Amino acid sequence: MDALKSEIAAAAARMVVEEGLEYGPAKRRAVKQLGVSARSALPDNDAVEDAVQEYIQIFCADTQPQELAALRRLALRWMERLEQFRPHLGGAVWHGTATRLSDIYLQLFCDDPKSAELALIEHNVDYEARTVTGFNGEPVEALSLSSMSEELGEPIGVHLMIYDHDDVRGALRADAKGRTPRGDLAAVRALVETAR
């Protein structure tokens, strides 16, 4: 990777960790902050993730493991509540790069796309529905809510992406680094148990 891409990745990583930005907005803001051309080639998400891991090791090694564990425990609680929808955890909380500013991203694989929304309504959970780009590049419905983390002492964003039941097959294909891009309830439970 060339020096400019490395510099953009490092600046974006700082924003991801310190401000809780997602990779895309962090890369665009890094370009502006560095004063380089908006047409500059951006680093890919794997490069930003590597820079995030490096930033965490240098600046957050004393706090990030506890914050990550708290986020994984909160994710597990939501996965247990939504077990009937085959929840899978993805994003920074799954990959281990999350801090207290990170949101939780759960993919639900439903027989009926409205069933998860009805379950939230039945349990009086306030949420906001919107459409986002899913892991397969297609638009999917996302139900976003806020959930209090007692351990962190603050509310955490939880985003439920609603997929068709059959999409689960494509969801488990290894990513560019050969990792499983998301984990099911048993996998997240195992992560939580090993952190104790």
Whether residue 80 is found in the same domain as residue 176:
yes
Tokens of 127: 């949420």
How many domains, in total, are found in the chain? Answer: 2
**Per-residue pLDDT, 103:** 96
- Same domain for 69 and 142? yes
Domain match, 102 and 135 both:
yes
* Whether residue 127 is found in the same domain as residue 108: yes
Residue type, 164: D
Whether 34 and 87 map to the same domain: the answer is no
Residue 9 lies in domain: 3-59
pLDDT digits (tens, 9 = 90+) for 65-107: 999 999 999 999 999 999 999 999 999 999 999 999 999 999 9
Output the CA torsion sign for 182, 183, 185, 189. Answer: negative
* Whether pLDDT at 165 is above 80: yes
Q: Are 90 and 113 found together in one domain?
A: yes
Q: Is 61 exposed, middle or buried (0-12, 13-18, 19+ CB in 10 A)?
A: exposed
Q: Residue 158's pLDDT is what?
A: 98
Taking residues 21-27, what's their average pLDDT?
A: 93
- pLDDT at 1 (0 to 100): 62
Provide the mean pLDDT of the chain: 93
The radius of gyration computed from the CA coordinates of the chain, to the nearest angstrom, equals 17
Task: Tell whether 36 and 119 lie within a shared domain.
Answer: no
- Among residues 59, 74, 105, which one ends one of the domains? 59
Final residue of a domain: which of 14, 39, 59?
59
- H/E element holding 147? strand 139-149
What are the tens digits of pLDDT across the range 131-146? Answer: 999 888 889 999 999 9
Is residue 162's pLDDT more than 70?
yes
Q: What's the CA dihedral at 110, 20, 131, 164 to 10 degrees?
A: -20
Residue 177 maps to which CATH number? Answer: 3.30.460.10
pLDDT at 168 over 90: no
Quick check: 167 pLDDT over 90? no
Question: How many percent of the chain have pLDDT more than 70?
Answer: 99
82 and 34 within one domain: no
Q: Choose one of 43, 59, 75: the last residue of a domain.
A: 59
Claim to verify: residue 72 and residue 92 sit in the same structural domain:
yes
Same domain flag for 96 and 188? yes
Mean pLDDT of 148-170: 92
Q: Does residue 76 share a domain with residue 51? A: no
The answer to whether residues 140 and 170 belong to one domain is yes
